[in-house]
Amino acid sequence: KVRNLSFHVRAGEILGIGGVEGNGQTELLNLLIGMQDLSGGTIELYGTDITGMGTKRRRETGLAYISDDRMTTGLSLDSDLQENLICGCESKAPFSRWGILRKRAIDQYADEMMEKFDIRGLHPGKPVRSLSGGNMQKIVLAREINRNPKVLIAAQPTRGLDIGAINFVRQQLLEQKRAGTAVILVSADLEELMSLSDRLIILYEGGCVGEITEPDKVSEEEIGLLMGGIQRDRRKGGEAV
């Protein structure tokens, strides 16, 4: 599903990846986060070859991931807020000491994240499945962003959210960009891609059919043509080639 694809993303930049769903986006993300193995090529993170690393090692190296399905791969719905927030860091200070979880430190961290990310509607000890989609997504954001990643992959980060939650998520992505994080944004929402991205690459049948360096100067029609596998050569007066 992914073929002959090569791209880069810079620190302090949002790289948007667009295309009609089913053209390799899911497979690309699985390759980046280590859920599938490459058949060829390499993946580098700030000069470090992470191709052979598992998901845990990649995360420890500086990769964060906002899953496109918060209900299955983004959260453990039957676990509480604290467990979801420290997932992946439960063996590190200040959350544990000598293999023993430190409840006070974990509870304090959870309180800080609830305030910082405006997480509402959760009662102590209750599973996160009782929350709205927006508050679930805020938990994912809190867990991934607060680890100060070098690269943040955001897959369909606003899908199924209300307008308030959408604006909050988008603002968090922009703040990550300003903080110097490299952000890879995969979204089926063309308006979202065009408004947030500094650059865009368009996937069609697993390959890149176009790179857009100034999304604010390109029309939705032109991007739509690329998504359909139709390229326009401006040297020929816009003739489709």
- At residue 102, the pLDDT reads 93
Q: What is the pLDDT of residues 129-182, one digit of tens each?
A: 999 999 999 999 999 999 999 999 999 999 999 999 999 999 999 999 999 999
Q: How confident is the model at residue 229 (pLDDT cuts 50, 70, 90)?
A: confident
Q: Where are the beta strands (DSSP E) in 19-104?
A: 44-45, 48-49, 63-66, 96-97, 100-101
The bridge status of strand 199-204 relative to strand 14-18 is parallel
Handedness of CA 165, 170, 172, 175 (dihedral sign): negative
Do 156 and 124 contact (CB within 8 A), yes or no?
no
pLDDT digits (tens, 9 = 90+) for 38-49: 999 999 999 999
Number of H helices, E strands in the chain: 8, 12
Is the pTM of the predicted complex or chain greater than 0.85?
Answer: yes
Rg (CA), the chain: 19
> CA 76, 197, 163: angle at the middle one, nearest 5?
55
- The reply to whether omega before 94 is within 30° of 0 (cis) is yes
